């Protein structure tokens, strides 16, 4: 079994959990992680006043700490002062799938008799699964956690997972701002897609979201703010600008003979809910039967979870993020997955964008042949959007930028502007290309100037496309 697979994750920084744990038990000591010690470097650039941050173990925060109390649930994830809603929204979705959650958060961890201050988590990183160990010293102020926490003060798995993810990305500051699909992929090994929300194309997007949730994909959404000064502020409808939300489910109810499409969302803050139509206390629910409300698990609580209509959603939100699972992530079937490693090297493969006609062709090129059409999945669709007889072969292409969070400096990200172009090869050119074997001269070893990237292509044989 290959190291780095889902069944045999590689040890991050060569720190083996069992070896470290046994050594601590033999010595009767609590684990102290020398690879990610508490202090300003672990915080990164977040806190100039780092001396007011006190690193405490859970038993110093509450008398009876629990790793997971009564099962992992969405309410275990509450955002702190770190702007990592993109991570926590993805994590909220992960708690809905027990098997996926158990892979990222291995079972058997606790504060019981064999506790020695060490915990482990698993993340997918650029084609490999890695197991990350951390000690349980967490940043606090006035005896309370500064960053992620649980609504139950004695539960600590979400805070420890956030610390492990910060370790992978260099510091807590490395988690400040990001894209939801990035976290989704790191938690599942799946392939993420970002769909702009357009009221004119709402039927197709509704079908995609519904199909994705039925296939147990992770789904989240984002509310873009045109004014950077408005990020983090609550608008007139109770939604947070520049914020990520988890999409927990979709459904519909019939009111006065008309069907209303609904989505169930969750704010990673654990509070601050939507105040428009179909919110928890909205009068629209008066026209819905008690049985329907019970089926939809409607709860009038300030827990960050709420319903809203699809029409209102399409007017408010800017993007929907979907992460479908790959076979290597222990998820869905029907994939054919390929990964290609590449880099842009100045003077060799860094050809620039399309406006540089003389050098654009020197960029890394990958030829993809789609040999099999999608499975026939034209079952009855409630929206009348079933297949129209077109032959399709679906492919999803994703481009990853490696290790940029670790190299992040200050509050601004050092992510580079990269991309790819896809061209259709005319049938008459296929035979010519088939007889050609592209070759390129060896590139000079200028590793300090290389921009690593990973391109993955997969064919997804479901209707969620």
Annotated catalytic sites, by residue? 85, 243, 267
DSSP structure class, residue 268: T
| Biggest distance spanned by C-alpha atoms of the chain | 74
Nearest to residue 304, comparing CAs of 239, 392, 375, 220?
A: 239
- Asked if 325 and 217 touch (Cβ cutoff 8 Å), the reply is yes
Report the DSSP pairing between strands 128-135 and 10-11.
parallel
Rounded (10°) angle between helices 180-188 and 85-94: 40
Q: Where are the alpha helices (DSSP H) in 335-436?
A: 427-434
Torsion 196-99-454-133 (CA) sign: positive
DSSP structure class, residue 434: H
Long-range contacts of 33-42 (CB under 8 A, 24+ apart): 33/118, 33/133, 33/134, 33/135, 33/167, 35/167, 36/134, 36/135, 36/163, 36/166, 36/167, 38/137, 38/139, 41/171, 42/139, 42/166, 42/167, 42/171, 42/172
Main-chain phi, psi angles of 107, to 5 degrees:
-75, 165
Q: How far apart are CA 122 and CA 285, in angstroms?
A: 41
Q: How far apart are CA 416 and CA 452, in angstroms?
A: 11
Could you tell me the strand order of the sheet in which 191-196 lies?
191-196, 319-324, 218-223, 243-255, 258-266, 305-309
Residue 154 CA to chain centroid, in angstroms?
26
Nearest to residue 372, comparing CAs of 336, 412, 399?
A: 336
């Amino acid at each position: 079994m290959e190291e780095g697979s889902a069944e045999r994750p590689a040890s991050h920084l060569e720190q083996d959990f069992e070896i470290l744990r046994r050594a601590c038990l033999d010595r009767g000591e609590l684990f102290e992680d020398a690879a990610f010690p508490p202090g300003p470097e672990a915080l990164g650039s977040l806190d100039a006043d780092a001396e007011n941050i006190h690193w405490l173990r859970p038993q110093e925060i509450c008398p009876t700490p629990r790793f997971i109390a009564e099962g992992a649930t969405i309410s275990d994830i509450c955002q702190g002062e770190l702007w990592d809603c993109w991570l926590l929204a993805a994590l909220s979705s992960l708690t809905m799938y027990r098997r996926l959650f158990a892979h990222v958060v291995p079972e058997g961890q606790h504060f019981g008799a064999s506790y020695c201050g060490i915990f482990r988590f698993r993340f997918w990183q650029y084609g490999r699964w890695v197991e990350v160990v951390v000690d349980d010293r967490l940043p606090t102020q006035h005896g309370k956690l500064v960053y992620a926490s649980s609504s139950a003060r004695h539960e600590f798995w979400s805070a420890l997972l956030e610390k492990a993810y910060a370790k992978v990305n260099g510091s807590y500051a490395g988690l400040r701002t990001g894209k939801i699909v990035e976290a989704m992929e790191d938690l599942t090994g799946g392939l993420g897609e970002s769909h702009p929300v357009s009221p004119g194309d709402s039927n197709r997007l509704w079908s995609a979201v519904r199909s994705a949730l039925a296939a147990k994909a992770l789904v989240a959404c984002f509310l873009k703010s045109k004014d950077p000064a408005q990020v983090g502020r609550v608008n007139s409808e109770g939604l947070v600008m520049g914020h990520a939300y988890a999409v927990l489910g979709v459904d519909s109810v019939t009111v006065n003979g008309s069907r209303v499409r609904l989505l169930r969302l969750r704010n990673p803050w654990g509070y601050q809910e939507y105040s428009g139509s179909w919110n928890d206390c909205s009068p629209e629910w008066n026209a819905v039967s008690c049985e329907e409300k019970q089926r939809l698990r409607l709860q009038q609580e300030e827990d960050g979870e709420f319903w809203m209509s699809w029409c209102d959603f399409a007017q408010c939100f800017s993007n929907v993020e979907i992460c479908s699972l790959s076979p290597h992530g222990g998820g869905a079937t029907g994939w054919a997955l390929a990964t290609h490693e590449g880099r842009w090297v100045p003077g060799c493969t860094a050809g620039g964008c399309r406006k540089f006609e003389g050098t654009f062709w020197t960029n890394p090129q990958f030829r993809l042949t789609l040999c099999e059409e999608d499975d026939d999945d034209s079952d009855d669709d409630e929206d009348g959007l079933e297949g129209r007889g077109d032959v399709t072969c679906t492919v999803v292409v994703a481009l990853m930028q490696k290790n940029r969070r670790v190299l992040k400096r200050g509050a601004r990200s050092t992510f580079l502007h990269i991309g790819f172009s896809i061209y259709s090869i005319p049938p008459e050119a296929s035979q010519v290309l088939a007889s050609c074997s592209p070759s390129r001269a060896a590139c000079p070893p200028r590793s300090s100037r290389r921009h690593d990237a990973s391109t993955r292509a997969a064919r997804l044989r479901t209707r969620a496309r």
